[in-house]
Structure 1
Amino acid sequence: MSRAVTPRRKAITTVLAWIVGFLIFFPILWTIVLSFKSEGDAISAPLNVLTSTWTMESYEAVQERSNYFLHFWNSVVISFGSTIAALVIAIPAAWAMAFVPGKRTKDVLMWMLSTKMMPAVGVLVPIYLLFRDMGLLDTRTGLVIVLTLMNLPIVVWMLYTYFKEIPSEILEAARMDGATLRSEILYVLTPMAVPGIASTLLLNVILAWNEAFWTLNLTAAKAAPLTAFIASYSSPEGLFYAKLSAASTLAIAPILILGWFSQKQLVRGLTFGAVK
């Protein structure tokens, strides 16, 4: 029998959860606060920061100096483009690993995941030279390709986990009814795994949106996303904290809003198949 949760224990757990949540969110909150301060106030003592005048001058300076909407559109195209491309490849691959008998499936999955263990800088030079020779430097197409390949192991692994929770008898019944391989994946498997696919999509979008290493090394101006937009406010003259905070707030706001509105679907997908 499960042990009853007392009001005291529930209150303590709730307080601890709020404290942990606040500590996790505090850096983002402080960045947002600094973005509404002047450069002089941003480097003052924390209490002085909170009591100083709030202003929009940092946002105005950022808009005058940079084309925010160009960087924003580049981030949207790169993150969603690489995610969709990864799903197109990963769904059939995960289906094959989950429902086609094979003794080496776990070995293949571990090998795919092991490719994420190598530091990205280890393959920077060959990828840079390939992109240079193929004309993919500073293009959205090039970044979509590289981010698709970088995040593909995680996407395949997550989808494989979700697909394994679907009874194989359902797919066998579809085959007995004359479903082709394409119909089985599109009309039987995919609708049943929507929560898992949705959570995988959201996590991959977040990973691609926040990717800085490849976007800084493979772009210059035309295809530079919001990560490069933030990095442009770190200069040899020093850090301009208020402007850097304003640029960071503009960069994280879209993905923060997306995560807020999709949190229910994200949690549902991450717990898909966890409760029997």
Structure 2
Amino acid sequence: MSAATTTEPATTGRTPQLPPAARKARRRSAALGVVAWIVGLAFCLPALWMVLTSLHSEADAATNPPSLAASLTLDGYRQFFGGGGGPTPWPPLINSLSASLFSTVLVLVLALPAAYALSIRRVRKWTDVMFFFLSTKMLPVVAGLLPVYLFAKNAGMLDNIWLLVILYTSMNLPIAVWMMQSFLADVPVSIIEAAQVDGARLPTVLARVVAPVAGPGIAATALICFIFSWNELLFARVLTGVVAQTAPVYLTGFVTSQGLFLAQLCAASVIVSLPVLAAGYAAQDKLVQGLSLGAVK
């Protein structure tokens, strides 16, 4: 009996044709990719335009329509940093950094025990407590501006950086408690009980057990609170003057009765945006992990 022979299909060198369903899925994926790039560029276009305008002279920046082929210069940045004999921007930048950092640290210190009590060792009627935290964000900011101003005036705290720290802490604490409550709800209770069996008290449990496990969520909360504090304008504009002036308030000084210094304003906006962009870029992995924590059960 002759040995069985195996026949192999002849190769023609052509790429095998995909099934119609696979080709349709590939075209749909390519179309969605193109749409995503267009949407992403549309979101980035104003920022890119701001950077380009900051590199133009005031005369070129004021043209309508603006000229893309105008010569580039760093005069806007030099004048922003006081190169033309103007005021220096360092005090407002330092004030914004100080108020944002101190308020963010205070928010984390206060929100972590509150979120622990609302998620792991739940207090009675914890849902009512969560609704109370949420209800504080329903009040328009303008409605509380006059009472806060009168209190600061009577307490002698106008134009005081510590007043902004207290305000930013109180403004960001509700959203921080809400975020961290959902993050801490995913922390295994067994490791907390094991630490307590070993004799760990609550501060040790929060610092050495809960915080490392919920690190991405805490980092995401800290970044969002920092951004909210850094970008706040209304309270800082009304409650500060010269000593505690913040960076957003300093930006409004480029809109004067003599006109709009567009190139300097764009240069200042780029500089003021850099700390937030740097913080977001440095913590982007933690931010993504934190915001997606608990999304898939």
TM-score by length of 2: 0.87
* 2:98 maps to which of 77, 85, 106: 77
Q: After superposition, where does 1:229-244 map in structure 2 within 5 Å?
A: 229-244=250-265
Query: Which residue matches 1:117?
Result: 138
C-alpha distance in 2 between matches for 1:16 and 1:146: 41
Query: Which residue matches 1:146?
Result: 167
CA offsets 1:121-144 (integer angstroms, 9 cap, x no match): 111111112212223211211111
Contact persistence 1:37–1:49 (CA under 8 A): no
Contact persistence 2:217–2:286 (CA under 8 A): no
1:226 is aligned to 2:244: no
* 1:41 maps to which of 30, 48, 60: 60
May I ask how many residue pairs the two structures share in their alignment? 273
Point out which structure has higher relative CO (alpha carbons under 8 A, 6+ apart). 1
Find the residue that maps to 2:293 and give its secondary structure.
coil
Give 5+ residue unaligned stretches, structure 2.
1-20
CA apart distance, 1:192? 0.7
C-alpha distance in 1 between matches for 2:286 and 2:29: 25
Identity %: 39
Find the residue that maps to 1:117 and give its secondary structure.
coil
Q: After superposition, where does 1:98-177 map in structure 2 within 5 Å?
A: 98-177=119-198
> Which one-letter code corresponds to 1:53 in the other structure?
S
Once structures 1 and 2 are overlaid, which stretch shifts more, 100-109 or 189-198?
Answer: 100-109
* 1:16 maps to which of 35, 40, 49: 35
C-alpha distance in 2 between matches for 1:186 and 1:242: 47
CA apart distance, 1:247? 1.3
CA apart distance, 1:245? 0.9
CA offsets 1:155-191 (integer angstroms, 9 cap, x no match): 0100001011112222222222222112111111111
Query: Which residue matches 1:57?
Result: 75
CA apart distance, 1:261? 2.5
Find the residue that maps to 2:81 and give its secondary structure.
helix
Find the residue that maps to 1:229 and give its secondary structure.
helix
1:26 is aligned to 2:59: no
User: Which one has a larger percent helix, Structure 1 or Structure 2?
Assistant: 1
CA apart distance, 1:79? 0.7
CA apart distance, 1:6? 3.5
C-alpha distance in 1 between matches for 2:193 and 2:274: 45
Contact persistence 1:34–1:49 (CA under 8 A): no
C-alpha distance in 1 between matches for 2:289 and 2:206: 21
C-alpha distance in 1 between matches for 2:98 and 2:219: 18
CA offsets 1:23-81 (integer angstroms, 9 cap, x no match): 112111111111111122112244x5211111112222222223222211111111111
Give 5+ residue unaligned stretches, structure 1.
none
C-alpha distance in 2 between matches for 1:264 and 1:11: 26
> Which one-letter code corresponds to 2:68 in the other structure?
L
Once structures 1 and 2 are overlaid, which stretch shifts more, 236-245 or 190-199?
Answer: 236-245
CA apart distance, 1:103? 4.6
Query: CA 1:49 to 1:254, structure 2 compared with 1: closer, same or farther past 3 Å?
Result: farther
* 2:114 maps to which of 93, 115, 118: 93
